[in-house]
Structure 1
Amino acid sequence: MAKKSKGNRVQVILECTEHKESGLPGTSRYITTKNRKNTPDRLEMKKYNPILKKVTVHREIK
């Protein structure tokens, strides 16, 4: 049987950067996919944080 190769598209978790500083309980996380070849570094997107009720920067976590 042929060995299955790892795909270029992987699932990543994005976590809010401003939420930790606010001191409020809970956390805002999103799950998305990225292409390993096109974006080898950490992904950073602006997403809505329902706890803070505003759009904030979410960064990829390990």
Structure 2
Amino acid sequence: MDSSDKEARSPRRRGRPPAPPGVSRNHRVVTFVNDAEFERLHELARRDDETLSMAAYRLLTKELNAQQ
């Protein structure tokens, strides 16, 4: 199979299927925390058996939803 054969085939999507508009998380937010905050976040994530990223997201959305 040469490169022209690869180009002729339709590309297959890999990975997770796209989420509906308005639901997919497509904006990145970066923050820095100190050692104590990191440890508290890590403890929350461990307690709830989730990743640090998910724990941070949960805290963020909880606060944003409380302000509505």
- Report the TM-score when normalising by structure 1: 0.21
- Whichever structure has more helix as a proportion of its residues is 2
- Whichever structure has more strand as a proportion of its residues is 1
Which has the bigger relative contact order, CA under 8 A and spacing at least 6? Answer: 1
Higher Cα radius of gyration: 2
